[in-house]
Structure 1
Amino acid sequence: MLAALIWDVDGTLAETERDGHRVAFNESFESFGLPWRWDVARYTELLRITGGRERLLHDLAMQPAAPTDTDERARLAAALHTEKNRRYAQIARRGAIPLRPGVLRLMREATTAGVRLAIASTTSRSNLEALFELQFGAGWREHFATVVCGEDAPLRKPDPQVYRRCLEGLDLDPEDTLAIEDSPNGLAAATAAGVPVLVTRSLAFASHPFDGALAVCDDLDHPAAPSPRLCGTSPARVDLAQLREWHAAWWRQRAAA
């Protein structure tokens, strides 16, 4: 039985990567007097690496103007990342990063039906709070049964640590949950924890096939294609009733395999 929806944040709830983190990184580079700027194409490439600081270190290793000493480069990355988080919070709090289509609708449907909401994200708690305080209000925490952030699960996706800790917080088995993700690393992390995944492709992964997902859509208000193994139809939009149907069919097939 579907008892909880587990949501990723960056790219899933909102296009935070393109419209928030990338912009904040570029502002930070400029404030430090550095010549680097990440356009959408370059940042999309970097999104293959999970985690802002990890992404930054990867890029700095290829920048001729970056420090060659490993420790010095790490200190620069840490300082840039701290400044990026500060600027990201400013961007989020001024409403520049709206929720993606259908997110609030599906959350409300789930809450009304008694299906709990949870967060499994490796973004920092400060980044999450900046976005959630504006979108869900000061009492945002009461809407979620458990919230797992980067500080709680330091191993980045595709490692399943964040999902395993989320399941512990919910006190549920994977069979009772369904994850909503936008990226290949997110899909891999949830799948490794035994949680089936609905993918709502973010702009960064618009053409990725997402083999192994329960269903794939461009956003929750557009048609979704279920896994070929489910042999279902493509609904006009993703609602809770459809998720329950797919979820039940997914586990029936697993039991029969």
Structure 2
Amino acid sequence: MAELKCILWDVDGTLADTERDGHRVAFNMAFDEAGHKREWSVATYGELLAVTGGKERIRFDIDRGDMHEMPFEEIAGLHARKTAHYETLIAEGRIPLRPGVRRLLEEAYAAGITLGVSTTTTPSALDALIEHSLGPEWFDRFAVLAAGDIVAAKKPAPDIYTYAMDQLGVSAENTIALEDSENGWKSAHAAGLKCVVTVNDYTRDHDFTGADLVVSELGEPDGDAVDVLQDLHTLDVHHVKLSHLKAIMHD
């Protein structure tokens, strides 16, 4: 029976609720600053989340006719300004961690489990979230920060997870992924990983057919959260103790 040795975290929507009041707001600030007559509503941004990557979302909006055509350099510049605005929002304390995240991270680190990040968010945005929402000590506690364009194919492709495991020298059988979206769990699954999905307002209606476990949040369990993940990792999810499921599921 394989031992859980590594946990790989998605960021946006998983570590923190970054999308609606973070990335979306920052995009709109960048659009306004550049003089674009475009504002992404909550509903519109929910649709755009089906596209992985910020620059890719701008391109998608252009291709469907909701923004004017622009070269890649302009898209990249617009996205860079968006990232700067997003980092300011984080520094202002407007993007807290999701419930249970800090406890699980602390318990896993104390238990000697390798921790890493596998995300499509930009490295500077990830750095800002770690700095202001987790604390600077986590730059050393995360053994790998796989982020942004470090791989060519973004989620749902498995590349970012494969890259992180290669960097860490761990195997899929000893690793579990934490995600929040359909594209995210498909990416983890394609990399051979078991995956726990913690849905949010944007992703609770996604198709998670085939996912190992879907919960509303990690919560603040009375027991050992790392033991919960170990059970989910080593056993068929349907045989995990009901008390363990209740420990992390808040419906």
Decide: shared fold, TM above 0.5: yes
Alpha-carbon offset, residue 75 of structure 1: 3.4
| CA displacement 1:36-90 (0-9 Å, x = unmatched) | 10011000000000000000110012236513xxxx3433322211110111111
Q: Could you say what secondary structure the match of 1:162 adopts?
A: helix
| Preserved CA contact (<8 Å) 2:165 2:172 | yes
**Which amino acid is the alignment partner of residue 131 of structure 2?**
E
SS of 2:178's equivalent in the other structure is strand
**Counterpart residue type for residue 181 of structure 1:** E
What does the per-residue CA deviation read over 1:137-174, in whole Å, with 9 as the maximum and x for residues that have no partner? 23321111111111322321011110001111221110
1:197–1:215 Cα contact (<8 Å) kept: yes
Alignment partner of 1:115 out of 91, 113, 116:
113
Give the match for residue 39 of structure 2.
Answer: 37
Q: Which residue of structure 2 lines up, in the alignment, with residue 128 of structure 1?
A: 126
Do the aligned partners of 1:174 and 1:194 also contact (CA within 8 Å) in 2?
Answer: yes
Contact 1:85 1:127 in 2 (8 A): yes
Match among 13, 18, 21 for residue 20 of structure 2:
18
User: 2:90: which partner in 1?
Assistant: 92
Q: Percent identity?
A: 40
For residues 23-102 of structure 1, what are the structure 2 equivalents within 5 Å? 23-63=25-65, 66-67=68-69, 72-102=70-100
How many matched pairs? 236
Note if contact 2:182-2:207 (Cα within 8 Å) is conserved in structure 1: no
Secondary structure of the 1:240 match is helix
CA distance in 2, matches of 1:213, 1:238: 23
Residue identity matched to 1:34: H
8 A Cα contact 1:200 1:218, kept in partner: yes
CA distance in 1 between partners of 2:122 and 2:105 (Å): 22
Q: Match for 1:199 among 197, 200, 214? A: 197
Q: CA deviation at 1:208?
A: 2.4
Q: CA deviation at 1:136?
A: 2.4
The residue that corresponds to 1:176 in the other structure is 174
Equivalent residue number for residue 6 of structure 1? 8
- How much does 1:183 deviate? 0.6
The answer to whether the Cα contact below 8 Å between 2:161 and 2:187 also exists between their aligned partners in 1 is yes
Cα distance in 1, alignment partners of residues 149 and 63 from structure 2:
25
Establish whether residue 103 from structure 1 lines up as the match of residue 117 from structure 2. no
Given that 1:220 and 1:238 are in contact with CA atoms closer than 8 Å, whether structure 2 keeps it comes out as no
From 213, 228, 243, the equivalent of 2:229 is 243
Change (3 A) 1:183 1:65: closer
Give the aligned partner of residue 227 of structure 1. Answer: none
Residue of structure 1 in register with 2:219 after alignment = 221
Deviation at 1:238, TM superposition (A): 8.4
Partner of 2:227, secondary structure, is: helix
Q: Match of 2:97, as an amino acid?
A: L
Q: TM-score, normalised by structure 2?
A: 0.88
